[in-house]
Structure 1
């Protein structure tokens, strides 16, 4: 079994073709993560080489990780962090399930769905605690509220959590699925269809897609947020393989603590946090878009139940709401116990 240090060297020198292979569905993944450091690592000045796979190519939401590396926050907690791009939350969850990376950053609905399919991972902290799901449309469109969606063509992506919960949003605002026409497209296709006028609106992550669409089109984007209709559930957070949690809880604790500290620091210095991403990946949008994305992310970091807690620290009430909403939407078969999906050992409320 490869050491953590040798794996990190391989990751840093590997070409992006590894991610292309993952996106193509290659199941044979080359690297296997082993256990991490001991409880004295940070204190002794040594660091554990740790890999993190994101949910997608870097965008503003990810600024805390790059800022945390630049500012030495992860190093202070004994972590030499390498950040890798992802190809969607589901693939990231599966990659952690195959122990190809030490930690993952992925959407909670994707985590729940994969755990139900037998993928042996757990959430160790949710950072986006209010869903960024929103109906997005150009401000020049004569849409001013949910009632104006009647008769509109809306781009969706079949099977993702935002689409599966769209009927619940429509019900919450007094509409039915028959009131709108849904056009099934992938993420890039949705953006292009809105910009070209092929659809009236799209549903997706407002804090991510909206700023990019606005920058590309030169038009202002407006939002009808699921949360404004009383429909909310957890989004992106940190996850680990169950064996990592069991065999190296000290490493998991340090990673969670460092991530929370990095998110706090990035909130206090948003421009600096975004600047730390410069040159990190050719797929990234402009600095202005990154900043808008990060500022939109900040609004999603807490609910009324978690206000005052450090970023990533959640409430059981919000976990139950998330699980029950996703069960009702059909993304998971039943509303199982929270511990099926989340290990609370590493956050304040779990200690």
Structure 2
């Protein structure tokens, strides 16, 4: 896969940059020996786009290398598969939907936990055409909603509908493949679709749908408190290599800061790893991407609307903040 190979090649450059620092560290250290880099595998749960910019920059700009890590990135087919890879130890880290992790942990699975939340709010949204009479969430009643196979947004739709007094029975769902989601909406075959705000809406504008005809109804704007994508770690690796986990997160946070500071640079690096990427499109997507345990408990409640737990997890079962750097180093100004 081109993505994995390109990232692996970039990891070599990052490693070389990092080793220069380690040579100096070793010469000054008591033992006089440089630290050996640690090889890890990182899985994305979807094909690469601008939402992965922090991790791309952590690779291409040597941030992982400076932490003593050689990071090879691959792509899984959705969050459940990425979580399963981490649980099995074939990947040490993955970026996944934290709500999928909540469901996974109910299956008697290994105690995989999130250690860093990249998206403070889930990017779930209903993307609709205003020309079809949809301007607000309440307008979805009586309409046809396109739902792609494996879509994560629809899993929290029952909780959102109840919260906003919408009868789910009044909304017709049309199942489809993800490949035809935007084409069917742009062709008027459905009135709206579920998806991620920074994916479907921008893809539709790229297909020629006027921006002023699109209503992006973000779940977060209608009371959904679910978190979004988070970094998870293999528990055995975390126990054996806690400093490597801390280093990975420091690099990811630095990459996030850099992506916000230099979005053009981030878009360039992301597009260089895509088969048919467009810089302007990914830059727009990145800008679209660019607040507590009690809230995570409420997120678990929302998942329970569409999922019957065998044993409901607690917030502590899902998230471990012990690997994070101090708060001052994580805040985005």
TM-score normalised per structure 2: 0.82
1:21 matched residue in structure 2: none
CA-based RMSD: 2.5
1:263 matched residue in structure 2: 256
Is it true that 1:327 corresponds to 2:319 in the alignment?
Answer: no
Is it true that 1:236 corresponds to 2:229 in the alignment?
Answer: yes
What are the Cα deviations for residues 223-246 of structure 1, in whole angstroms up to 9, with x where unaligned? 111111111201111111111111
1:286 matched residue in structure 2: 278
Moved more, 243-252 or 320-329: 320-329
Separation in 2, partners of 1:102, 1:143: 43
Pick aligned residue for 2:145 from 154, 159, 182 = 154
2:98 matched residue in structure 1: 108
Pair 1:321–1:92, CA change in 2 (3 A): same
Pair 1:267–1:97, CA change in 2 (3 A): same
What are the Cα deviations for residues 251-290 of structure 1, in whole angstroms up to 9, with x where unaligned? 11111111111111111111111111133131x5421221
2:330 matched residue in structure 1: none
- Structure 1 residue 222 displacement after superposition: 2.3
Deviant stretches of 4+, over 3 Å: 40-46, 157-161, 331-335
Separation in 2, partners of 1:168, 1:243: 35
Separation in 2, partners of 1:157, 1:278: 25
1:55 matched residue in structure 2: 45
What are the Cα deviations for residues 7-59 of structure 1, in whole angstroms up to 9, with x where unaligned? xxxx749xxxxxxxxxxxxxxxxxxxxxxxxxx99954643222211011101
Task: Please tell me whether the aligned partners of residues 123 and 198 of structure 2 are also in contact (alpha carbons under 8 angstroms).
Answer: yes
2:70 matched residue in structure 1: 80
Task: Please tell me whether the aligned partners of residues 109 and 331 of structure 1 are also in contact (alpha carbons under 8 angstroms).
Answer: no
Number of aligned residues: 299
Separation in 1, partners of 2:150, 2:320: 26
The DSSP-based 3-state class of the residue aligned with 2:270 is coil
Separation in 2, partners of 1:183, 1:324: 26
The DSSP-based 3-state class of the residue aligned with 2:195 is strand
Separation in 1, partners of 2:223, 2:311: 21
Structural mapping, 1:93-104, within 5 Å: 93-104=83-94
Separation in 1, partners of 2:73, 2:267: 15
Moved more, 329-338 or 233-242: 329-338
What are the Cα deviations for residues 75-113 of structure 1, in whole angstroms up to 9, with x where unaligned? 111122222222211111111112112211111111121
Task: Please tell me whether the aligned partners of residues 41 and 47 of structure 1 are also in contact (alpha carbons under 8 angstroms).
Answer: no
What are the Cα deviations for residues 178-201 of structure 1, in whole angstroms up to 9, with x where unaligned? 221111223223223212221000
The DSSP-based 3-state class of the residue aligned with 1:277 is helix
Which structure has the greater CA radius of gyration? 2
Structural mapping, 1:130-169, within 5 Å: 130-157=121-148, 160-169=151-160
Unaligned runs of 5+ in 1: 1-10, 14-39, 304-314
Is it true that 1:248 corresponds to 2:238 in the alignment?
Answer: no
2:12 matched residue in structure 1: none
- Structure 1 residue 156 displacement after superposition: 1.9
- Structure 1 residue 211 displacement after superposition: 0.8
Separation in 1, partners of 2:90, 2:51: 23
Task: Please tell me whether the aligned partners of residues 106 and 313 of structure 2 are also in contact (alpha carbons under 8 angstroms).
Answer: no
Task: Please tell me whether the aligned partners of residues 326 and 332 of structure 1 are also in contact (alpha carbons under 8 angstroms).
Answer: no
